[in-house]
Structure 1
Amino acid sequence: FDYLASLDDLIVFMDEAHRYYASAGAKAINDLSPVLGIELTATPKTTGARPRDFTNIVYHYPLAQALQDGYVKVPAVATRRDFDPSRYASEELEKIKLEDGIHHHEYVKAELESYARNHNARRVKPFMLVVAQDTRHAGELKQLVETVFEGRYKDKVIEVHSNQGAEESDDAMKRLLAVETDDHTEVVIHVNKLKEGWDVTNLYTIVPLRASASEILTEQTIGRGLRLPYGTRTGVEAVDRLTIVAHDRFQAIIDQANDAESIIKKTVYIGDDGEDGIPMNRPAVFTAPPVGELESIGSPITRNDAPFDDGVRQTPALDENRRRIATIALRVAQDEAPRLNTARDYVATETRAKITARVERDARALMPQQGSLEGMEAADFISDEDIANIVDSVTSRLAETTIDIPQITILPTREVNYGFNDFDLEDLARQKLQPVDQEILVRHLDDNRTHVIQRGERMGSEARPEDYIVRSLMDIDAIDYDEHAAFLYKLASQYVAHLKTYLDDSGVENVLIHWQQTIRDFIFAQMKAHMWTTPTDYTGKVTQGFQVLKPATFTGIEVVDFRQTPAAGKRVHDLVFSGFRKCCFPLQKFDSVEGELRLAQVLEDDGDVLRWMKPAPGQFRIEYQDSRQYEPDFVVEIAEQYLMIEPKRASQIDAEDTQQKRKAAERWCQFANQAAADTGAKPWQYVLVPHDEIVVGRSVKFLTDRFGSR
């Protein structure tokens, strides 16, 4: 302590800073006399009966913003349909909530298993967190959980509270720290001992069986389960959601979530000068016309719809009539694009003559004729020669600033046949679905959507249990019942046999009725792993040689020169970049500094590069796995060819998704090159570059030779 206090450059980082405001903690920090103290906390308020918000916040990133940005799970609250908690004694209500919590836990376990199989992803083992009233209550809950469902959760429950003996506490803490990987722990019961310092990615179900002692405890408990197991949202609701089972508090939680002061909804804006405000700049909306349009007809760059000067591009000095003619010329040129092979055809004599004739006709309908009033000729009349010169200027700029990206339709050349190799169901022991009496409703706290995880209606009874499963599998388009009937019944029989190991006949039928989709997805995920398909060839047809570029819109805090590396504390996503000489647009945004921004700097410096751009959504029609669309990051034109360049984090180069995109892009290039051979256009090449290979001074030729497709 004395050594630290003697330092004249001491900086103290204080995690869980709301704990440092007690008198002893504050005195210890003050005695150290640091030159700077950085406080970190998810709950910027003092503890105790009357918490006060901190007044020294310099940066605030609330849960509401993290939810909006997609960095955390979506919290939801669950109850039963038409449930009246007042009809039940507290002990009975707790048992119902625990049972429904386990129902949800098993549901999520099955969904996670299905997702891992379908996406060849790491398997995630979920667990359930139960919040108890006190240590005695925790012990009672542990006994209850270990006795429900025929005792299948015995030895899979741990208690964590301050009243445990040293040995018992050490064992519980070891299992708690290993809960993300330990298959033996499925339920954690705690009593106010997890308030700070512990969060995990595989918590999916919370069952609160106590009145919250403070707002902090509620926020901290929910915060335990908000981390995403795969680092990003998957688009699968069950994988992306944290559910709180709260039959008796359902309406109260919904009301609180819809309250402007709720932790789920509350957002503080930086930039507000009010007493409770925190400075923050509001993003602006920038619209950037293509350079060809900007330099030919004078379409301005705008910031929040007001003209904006990027300091590089100069708009032409056109009077009102000439600007009107130039605008007509641009529209006619755009209409002509589908009939041209390349933008270079704009400068062909025949094309220019055709465009000029249309512009003259349309312009004469709008412009005054050479009149008889003195002075009108000089002020208003535009000659045919003037119109021809304007058309030449517009078409020349379009030809010089457009990259020819053809529209290609790619189709398989023959029917694709498929089937399933024989196999036996695996991992049945991981799925132990339970009979249910009522639907369980899940309400999303961010947008109030309701999701039902079990089907409550009773369907018509099937002749035998296996029929429930087979009928459900028949709803999948990829399964041909006539071809695979015997195989489907084999798998269904294996699943039914598994259910009979822990349920009686009525329980088996209940599960088969209420959990049909979950069972179907579990089986079909394994079927897909054993699916075979006949290889097929593809054919590609160019439907249009190029597209006229449209204005692009970006949002950002400020515009900076692309030569500037973003200053510390500034996110590249918040910035719009300008200063380009070779880009087809005067402004651009980038997703990364080391990959995309650095590549833009390389392209601007390389003498071989004629022009480049980041394609707009829909500009390429490249389909890859499961009909998903792929948009490459950069398109570059050099003297002898076009390049489709994808900078990628080095650790992701070999990822399945990256390689699927690469194959699809190479197939697209193959058909583009076949068409280019017929029209004399430049060929295409795909270049997948690790981000750490993109450094200033590197040439495009070096990157292409080393990382380009062959």
Structure 2
Amino acid sequence: MSASNQHKLWAIANRLSLRQPQRESLEILETVCDLLPLEKDTDTARALAAIRNSFPSVTDFERQFASLCFALATGVGKTRLMGAFIAYLQQAWGIQHFLVLAPNLTIYNKLIADFTPGSPKYVFQGLSDFALQPPEIITGDNYESGRGVRSADLFGENAVHINIFNISKINAEVRGDREPRIKRLSEYIGESYFEYLSKLDDLVLLMDESHRYRGKAGMRAINELKPILGLELTATPQIEAGSKTTDFKNVIYSYPLASALRDGFVKEPAVATRENFRVENYDEAGLETIKLQDGIRIHEHTKVQLDIYARESGRPLVKPFMLVVAKDTGHAGELLKKIEAPDFFEGRYKGRVITVHSNQSGDEKDETVQQLLSVEDPANPTEIVIHVNMLKEGWDVTNLYTIVPLRAANSKTLVEQSIGRGLRLPYGKRTGVADVDRLTIVSHDRFQDIVDHANDPNSVIRTGVVIGRDIPDKPTEAITITPTLEAILGVSQTPAGSENGPAAAAQEPLFKTEPERKVAETTLQVIHREFERLSRSADLQNPEVQKKIVARVLEEMQPVQGQLAGVAEQVDVQAVVSTTTAAYIENTIDIPRITVTPTGDVTVGFKDFDLDCSSVRFPPVARDLLIQRLTDNQRFRIVSGDGVVQEARLEDYIVRGLIDKDDISYDDHAALMYRLAGQLVRHLQSYLSTEEDVRNVLQYHQSELVRLVHTQMNQHYVEKATEYQVAVSKGFQRLSSSSAEVELGKVALNFRQPVEERLLIRGMVFTGFGKCLYPASKFDSDSERRFSIVLEDDVDVVKWLKPPKDLLKIQYADEDNYNPDFIVETADGRYLCEIKRATEVDSTVVQKKAKAAIQWCERASTVSDRPWKYVILPHDVIQHNRTFASLVQSA
């Protein structure tokens, strides 16, 4: 392996932003290229021996040429990996000819789009070589023009030729005495295009969903192409024939779904049921109805949560849909009638359901396929897809969130067959919001079976959700709650009672005319953009500041003033600015935006700690299983035969894995790594009888054990600097609107009204406040509602709010921000308040958040006109007769 080729590999991996399994696959291809002679008619027996020396999992190429399978889970990115393979082989080895095979028309069209420059998912995006000279794309629809032949190449001899064909074009059986078109003589090249391809001395074959090319016709046709190398990609490296499953023998790299779930590359599947559900109380029809109804409830809840996430994050809105798995085509038709009936959720889904099955043909099939392919488009009305085993590979949607399987299957098969199409993440990675990152399978009758199966380490489902507890069982909607200030000024974008949520307490707005309101809104925008850098909001009333604000407002309002010229009603801009500023100060809390920058000498590392090994009880495994496991993960080192390279010290199995981590330096952290590895080894020795068993566990479970140690090291990560510079980018901030999910049509409750159904409080909205900076608020518990009564009744409390997301940006972990429950202002101080169950106050996460919040308060106090303090209040100390000061003192 030359340094030049390795540099090219790294450049490709970085520019294409390859994920770790994609990068590892590319590194394996690099090794394969060093091991094999990339030429035609290679001695496959000798080539296999060379590969097996380094990759014992490959026991047979299973074709008449060297062919290797990369088994990557659905949603990890097989098409991008194909692009990386092509780019590397072209740049490092000068290979110019590639044939990409698709198993069906859907994937065929998708591959053409993804390999075409300018498309949204262009696989070579970021690679300069392909930008300067784009690849020539030859397809099953244009090859007869001769554009795939070098002499006819209009783009020069250096352009990469990528042939994309549906397998049906290649392996079509002879009908009568006629060959498939691709094998017929072409007048442009003097031979068939198939023959032309087979004579190329650098043809590399890439097989998407390669488990679909194992039939006799497909195998024979592919062998006749005589490529120098075959690269297979699939998420299911096995052939199924009836009840028999045969694994591929040429898998060189495996990244299963369990790993993709662990690393966060796909949605988190969960199974759902009803609270206290008893399946024996329902006949088949009744069970089907309740599963459909609950599927709709989950779908509607998910739709609201996606709406809220889009509003709060500013990212595009995702339109979810629900998939129903029918028994047969007749059943699919019955389901369609049931779901579109007037008595099923008031007929809301009429015209929003499509069925997909093999009996469709002609215009009906074309229309269904078009709706299916555009189901991610918000303009597509489809919300429910009913299918009968028709949704195979290639239907790569990201907005499938709910699956209702109504076809009988055992728990394992039900899960594996159902979730494949719904795993892709709409935003490319997980958001941290459970409902946005979750795929839910409704399975009341098999819930316990699936949950029991989840205890299997290889299960892809780890969680269950309960309708009525985790997911509302009544229709909900998303509302937006705007700050009270906007209602006071009369500048709310949407009138009360609409989707903007509850209105502020009834009062006359300060500005009654549209021109005045326009000036007031412009004033707020000017303050937000240009004057929040002042140390406190009170400084906005400084005469010099007022002059600057008025000038900026006049500058921005010039077109409007021009429109008002000659109209009797003129706007006193200075007066409106002054009134708006006073209202702004009255209806905000000065919450600074703080950034902390280390200065001087900065060192990073890990605090010394003892490893928690209490969860580790791995048993030793059989020898043949050990070898198979090691070949699944190419980070392990394997020698020929069945021998496993043994580390000199047991601790080295862990240390070798740790030093591959980007955030660990061997020179700086060797002592800690060996100490922790030693603790782990001693723990294994405490329950395993022999050193051979300890070594066995360290080898087989190396990745899990390394991850255990690395995770705990990250929990003790520290960054030290000689000093820190605290910078305040803003002395105060304009409050933003917040979004919430509420029961559809539910009237807001007065916050003083006792709540009987306390478990449902998260779905309620409360109003009636006098000191809150929002006209309405949601609470996560009844303790929070009672705390709001204390704040409203305490004469020392001036104002308070439940902070919207990302207002404070208190970072307590690598990428996690903490948002306290309340911000409170009194005459002599400001407070961040957290309400917690008494049993949770001392938990690790709560205390970690507390530490970060205390540091934030210390820094905020240095730049504010009054001190900040953080308090955690146990839920059982909050009573109506308590004062805020007494609660703070008792914290």
TM-score scaled by length of structure 2: 0.44
262, 278, 286: which one pairs with 1:43?
Answer: 278
Structure 1 residue aligned with 2:632, among 439, 448, 455? 455
Tell me the CA shift for residue 362 of structure 1. 2.3
Match of 1:633 in 2: 821
- The one-letter code matched in structure 1 to 2:839 is S
Check whether the contact 1:293–1:398 (CA below 8 A) recurs between aligned residues: no
Which stretches in structure 2 are left out of the alignment for 5+ residues? 1-273, 306-409, 412-442, 640-644
Q: Please say if residues 838 and 874 of structure 2, whose CA atoms lie closer than 8 Å, have aligned partners that are also in contact.
A: yes
Which residue matches 1:293? 486
Which string of whole-angstrom CA distances, capped at 9 and with x for unpartnered residues, describes residues 84-103 of structure 1?
xxxxxxxxxxxxxxxxxxxx
Equivalent position amino acid for 1:408 in 2: I
Quick one: distance in 2 between partners of 1:573 and 1:553? 13
Question: CA contact under 8 A between 1:284 and 1:304: conserved in structure 2?
Answer: no
Q: Does residue 1:702 correspond to 2:886, yes or no? A: yes
**1:558-707 → structure 2 map (5 Å cutoff):** 558=746, 559-568=748-757, 571-594=760-783, 596-625=784-813, 628-676=816-864, 681-707=865-891
Task: Decide whether the 8 Å contact of 1:406 with 1:544 is kept in 2.
Answer: yes
The answer to whether the 8 A contact 1:404-1:545 is kept is yes
Q: Report the CA distance between 1:690 and its aligned residue.
A: 1.7
Distance 1:397 1:242, change over 3 A: farther
* 1:341 correspondence with 2:531: no
Residue 286 of structure 2 aligns with an amino acid whose one-letter code is D
Distance 1:340 1:669, change over 3 A: same
Q: How does 1:429-440 map to 2 (within 5 A)?
A: 430-434=617-621
CA-CA distance at 1:669 after TM superposition: 1.7
Residue 576 of structure 2 corresponds to 390
Secondary structure of the structure 2 residue equivalent to 1:339:
coil
Which 10-residue stretch deviates more, 320-329 or 429-438? 429-438
Among 726, 738, 749, the alignment partner of 1:540 is 726
Name the amino acid aligned to 2:778. K
Rounded Cα–Cα distance in structure 2 between residues aligned with 1:453 and 1:572:
50
**Deviations 1:411-463 (CA, angstroms, capped at 9, x unpaired):** 5566456568698996798222425868999xxxxxxxxxx999355854376
Greater shift in the superposed pair: 362-371 or 568-577:
362-371
Q: Which moved more, 1:661-670 or 1:548-557?
A: 661-670
Q: CA deviation at 1:363?
A: 1.9
> What secondary structure sits across from 1:553 in the alignment?
strand
Alpha carbons of structure 1 residues 570 and 322: separation in structure 2 relative to 1, 3 Å: same
> Are 2:481 and 2:501, in contact at CA under 8 Å, matched by a contact in 1?
no
Structure 2 equivalent of residue 53 of structure 1: 286
1:266–1:570 Cα change, 3 Å: closer
In 1, the alpha carbon distance for the partners of 2:611 and 2:829 equals 52
Identity %: 30
Q: Is residue 471 of structure 1 aligned with residue 656 of structure 2? A: yes
Q: Deviations over 1:316-368 (max 9, x none)?
A: 45222222222222211222333311111222222211111222222232233
Query: How well do the aligned residues superpose, as a CA RMSD in angstroms?
Result: 4.9
Matched, 1:377 2:567: yes
**C-alpha contact (below 8 Å) 2:504/2:774 kept by paired residues:** no
**3-state SS in 1 of match to 2:820:** coil
Task: Name 1:222's counterpart in structure 2.
Answer: 450
SS at match of 1:409: strand
For the structure 1 residues 336 and 421, does the alpha-carbon distance in structure 2 shift closer, same or farther, using more than 3 Å as the test? closer
Find the aligned partners of 2:607 and 2:799 in 1 and give their Cα distance. Answer: 49
Deviations 1:241-261 (A, max 9, x none): 544979xxx9xxx9xxxxxxx
Alignment of 1:110-149 (within 5 A): none
Q: Which has the higher contact order (CA 8 A, sep 6+)?
A: 1
Quick one: distance in 2 between partners of 1:429 and 1:338?
52
Q: Residue 388 of structure 1: CA displacement?
A: 1.4
For residues 74-153 of structure 1, the aligned pairs below 5 Å read none
CA spacing shift, 1:419–1:589, aligned 2, 3 Å:
closer
SS of 2:632's equivalent in the other structure is coil
Q: Deviations over 1:185-226 (max 9, x none)?
A: xxxxxxxxxxxxxxxxxxxxxxxxxxxxxx98744433557x
| CA distance 1:670–1:435, change in 2 (3 Å) | same
SS at match of 2:825: strand
Alpha-carbon distance in structure 1 between the residues aligned to 2:740 and 2:445: 40
Q: Using the alignment, how far apart are the partners of 1:490 and 1:361 within structure 2?
A: 66
Structure 2 contact 595–729 (Cα < 8 Å) conserved: yes
Q: Tell me the secondary structure at the aligned position of residue 636 of structure 1.
A: strand
Q: Tell me how far apart the structure 2 counterparts of residues 368 and 425 of structure 1 sit (CA, whole Å).
A: 72
Q: What is the alpha-carbon distance in structure 1 between the residues aligned to residue 717 and residue 516 of structure 2?
A: 64
For the 8 Å contact 2:751–2:768, the answer to whether it is kept is yes
Q: Which amino acid aligns with 1:629?
A: N
Which residue matches 2:521?
Answer: 327
CA contact (8 A) 1:297 1:327 kept: no
Kindly state the Cα deviation for residue 654 of structure 1 after the two structures are TM-superposed.
2.4
Q: String of CA shifts for 1:65-110, please: whole Å, max 9, x gaps.
A: 599999xxxxxxxxxxxxxxxxxxxxxxxxxxxxxxxxxxxxxxxx
